[in-house]
Amino acid sequence: MLQITRDGEYAVRAVLFLASQPEGKISLINEISEAQEVPKSYLSKIMQHLTRSGLVKSRRGAKGGFVIGRPADTITLRETIEAVEGPIFLNVCLIKKGECHRDVFCPVHPVWKEAQKRLFEVLDSKTMADLVKDASEIEKSNAEDKKHRN
């Protein structure tokens, strides 16, 4: 349907949450679930994928939980989404050469290629660090607005 799934959306929320925590702070599934409004048991599955991909690190047992797996400025939006959804291809003809035999003469193929490139430019250029910063600026701006409304 040309739309990211809940998996992708929730993964972004979770990684973003971890990226915004103070260094060394361990977060529990419960915390992340409540703060980011993601069903707990569903989030649990998503965290497993993120852990296996290395984007987050987990520790089991008492005092266990999750921390971000790499510096937030090395994790892009695209990488986070693809960690749980698998690689993005806007059309099957982009999966690999020969996946669609029409690609050699199909005039639409290059358009999909370009569209995907443009999409990736956006998703690759935003890191989790950028987004944390953006969030704090939005918050500041919202607070300003509120003050002015009084």
Binding footprint of its own copies on the chain (CB under 8 A): 1-5, 8-9, 12, 16, 37, 77, 85, 88-92, 102, 104-108, 110-111, 114-115, 118-119, 121-123, 126, 131-132, 134-135, 138-139, 142
Nearer to DNA by Cβ, of 45 and 140: the residue is: 45
Inter-axis angle of helices 77-85 and 109-125, nearest 10: 120
User: Binding residues for DNA, how many (CB under 7 A)?
Assistant: 27
Question: Which residues 6+ apart lie within 8 Å of 11 measured at CB?
Answer: 46, 49, 50, 80, 81, 83, 84, 85
Tell me, what DSSP letter sits at residue 74?
A: G
Question: Which residues 6+ apart lie within 8 Å of 45 measured at CB?
Answer: none
Site for DNA in 51-80 (CB under 7 A): 51-52, 58-66
Contact call for residue 42 and DNA (CB under 7 A): yes
CA distance 137 to 150: 21
The residue within the footprint of DNA, chosen from 11, 18, 29, 77 (CB under 7 A), is 29
Task: From the list DNA, its own copies, none, pick the one residue 115 interacts with, judged by a Cβ distance below 5 to 8 Å according to partner type.
Answer: its own copies
Exposed, middle or buried by CB within 10 Å (0-12, 13-18, 19+), for 30? exposed
Contact call for residue 101 and DNA (CB under 7 A): no
Contact call for residue 48 and DNA (CB under 7 A): yes
Torsion 71-9-119-85 (CA) sign? positive
Instruction: Kindly list the residues in this chain that would bind DNA in the complex (CB under 7 A).
Output: 1, 5-7, 27-30, 39-42, 44-45, 47-48, 51-52, 58-66
